[in-house]
Amino acid sequence: MFKKILIANRGEIACRVMKTAQRLGIGTVAVYSEADRDALHVQMADEAVLIGPAPVVQSYLAIDRILAACQKTGAEAVHPGYGFLSEKAEFATALDDAGIVFIGPRPYAISSMGDKITSKKLAMEAGVNTIPGFTGVVKDAEHAVGVSREIGYPVMLKASAGGGGKGMRVAFDDDECRSGFDRASSEAETAFGDGRVFIEKFIEEPRHIEIQVLADSHGNAVYLGERECSLQRRHQKVIEEAPSPFLDQATREAMGAQAIALSKAVDYQSAGTVEFIVDSERQFYFLEMNTRLQVEHPVTELVTGADLVELMIRVAAGEQLPITQQDVSYDGWAIEGRVYAEDPFRNFLPSIGRLVRYSPPVEKNGVRVDTGVYEGGEVSMHYDPMIAKLVTYGPTRDTAIAYMREALNEFCIRGVAHNISFLAALIDHPRFREGRLSTNLIGDEYPDGFNPANVVHDDPALLITVAATIHRRYMDRAAAISGQLPGYERKIHNEWVVVMNRETHPVSVRPLANGHGHEVRYGGERFEVLSDWQFGQPVFHGTINGESVCIQVERRNMIYRLFHWGSQADVMVLTARAAELLSQMAEKEPPDLSRYLLSPMPGLLSKLHVEPGLDVKTGQDLAVIEAMKMENVLRAERDGKIKLALAAVGDTLSVDQPILEFE
């Protein structure tokens, strides 16, 4: 077994690998860029080496600097995590040449499976079902149109060296095909240094289901069941689960057999994932093979009891797999939600900044949190916006969902926008609860993004009761302030009006006789509220009539902002007279910014397609912003004429910064 390994990655996956390595008694080495000097993975490691500035090409993708870090620290092996160099055959080869073990498959498997064109041909030769398409390299946009017409729209344009949703576009007609080819090729060139694109038939209403495989250098290979990864946004997975609520045992075994066949065809040695597209009839087609550890590997670990990182390390050290296919068993259900720094209200655009508050749920009762951040740390524009992976496990799918809902209620993040409310709403969506999933679900159900303020809470009395209780406690504290003028001391009322969504709700709030809680009367019902909540705490834990409750609360002057079950409510608790006066006040209209093109996210203005005096048409490309390794195209929402350019190519933009002004 290795004495010391280097983790050539950052963030949550670097921390995840370190946990297993340290449990096995293996020393760990972190590498970091200047932007990650204070990152959690650096703090966790036994040693840490600076490898360059923030841009990934000068740090986490710089093979020579990773090798130098290995030689400097004496690391015997390298775990690449996922992303960055994890699927670069030249990296594995360079490590081999330097006498350092790559904790992953051999270079041939990486290169053959990493190229989607080659992998599809090898899959066909191995007897694996494949999607109809054009496996040659598409020369240009017009060639793409010709190929797409032959296959038949809709089609998927994919970067041959792509991954993680980058370099992928769906086209339903010639115009979308031309635009999609340009974007896919450009994005792939930027992210992977390889702009080749191929095309295949796009299967409508598909499911994305993948098989986890493990193989060693002694010819042994097993599969550890499947993961349902159909809930995606822009080809990025959002929620994953194991097992799939859709597969039957016969389909599972058939998919597993094909995954093993493909693994053996490339002499695979490590953990890997064979991804399939599955249609409504359970017909499945090979999509790609990821020759690395997957982001969503925890759900497989929880239902099988295997530690995939440990098995990868042991296989790399030359050991045989400790299990056969007959030993693999599945128990319970696991669900993973990816917590991202992104703004659902702005159509899920990335968010950056300091984590003013970061308080994940306690890891108990089937709750697991894999993260690479901490309170006070920063979410950088240079890297992936993932904050954490929240995973819950239970004996049944319904139990795992219930644990996830409660854990999301507890997960407190402030300082950056995040998708926790969206995840909470998504796992409670009827289609998710019923298992009626497809990769189109999020696009169909949330075409304009997601606003938690628009989610109707199914138990408004819960929010009203908690807001009234918290307000009464603030008022009791205010009344206890010393130095009040005798005879004019602050008096506390028991009767209040809760204002929520401009609707008024009369309530009565009194301390319980024993002094350990409050009695709230609302709508003819009595609620007994018990809680040890303290002023300033962002999460309210307690019980209401004996039922446990967990609600996030944020006080904003007179407003209490409450977060629960994916909903967000701004609540005021007023006297009856104040509520009456409030009802007479007009709402302030937001300023008219329709004459400006605003940056919807922080990022780099990489392209500006127009100039002052130019007439533009609806849908015309205006600018491209690079943020978190993705190209985001801004298009004209109406016909008009450019008056001024307020930003230049190369500028680093903030959210809502004006880029163009229209006449």
Catalogue the active-site residues.
288
Helix and strand numbers (H, E) in the chain are 17, 39
Return left, alpha or beta for 353; rule: phi > 0 is left, psi -120 to 50 is alpha, else beta. left
Residues 6+ apart with CB under 8 A from 479: 489, 490, 491, 492
Return left, alpha or beta for 613; rule: phi > 0 is left, psi -120 to 50 is alpha, else beta. left
SS3 5: strand
Torsion angle (degrees, nearest 10) of CA 471, 473, 479, 480:
-160
Q: How far apart are CA 278 and CA 203, in angstroms?
A: 9
Token reading at 451: 């606003």
Query: For residue 481, which amino acid is it?
Result: I
Determine the distance from the C-alpha atom of residue 542 to the mean position of all C-alpha atoms in its chain, rounded to a whole number.
29
Q: How far apart are CA 66 and CA 98, in angstroms?
A: 11
Say if CB 37 and CB 53 are below 8 A apart.
no
What is the arrangement of strands in the sheet containing 27-33, beginning at the earlier edge strand?
47-52, 27-33, 4-7, 77-79, 101-102
Q: How far apart are CA 175 and CA 171, in angstroms?
A: 8
Token reading at 187: 């994005």
Strand partners for 615 = 641
Counted residue by residue, the chain has a size of 663
Return left, alpha or beta for 84; rule: phi > 0 is left, psi -120 to 50 is alpha, else beta. left
Q: How far apart are CA 28 and CA 40, in angstroms?
A: 13
Say if CB 367 and CB 391 are below 8 A apart.
yes
Determine the distance from the C-alpha atom of residue 593 to the mean position of all C-alpha atoms in its chain, rounded to a whole number.
30
Say if CB 159 and CB 187 are below 8 A apart.
yes
Query: For residue 170, which amino acid is it?
Result: V
Say if CB 386 and CB 351 are below 8 A apart.
no
Q: How far apart are CA 276 and CA 512, in angstroms?
A: 59
CA pseudo-torsion sign 514, 461, 445, 432: positive
DSSP of 205-235, one letter per residue? Answer: S-EEEEEEEEE-TTS-EEEEEEEEEEEEETT
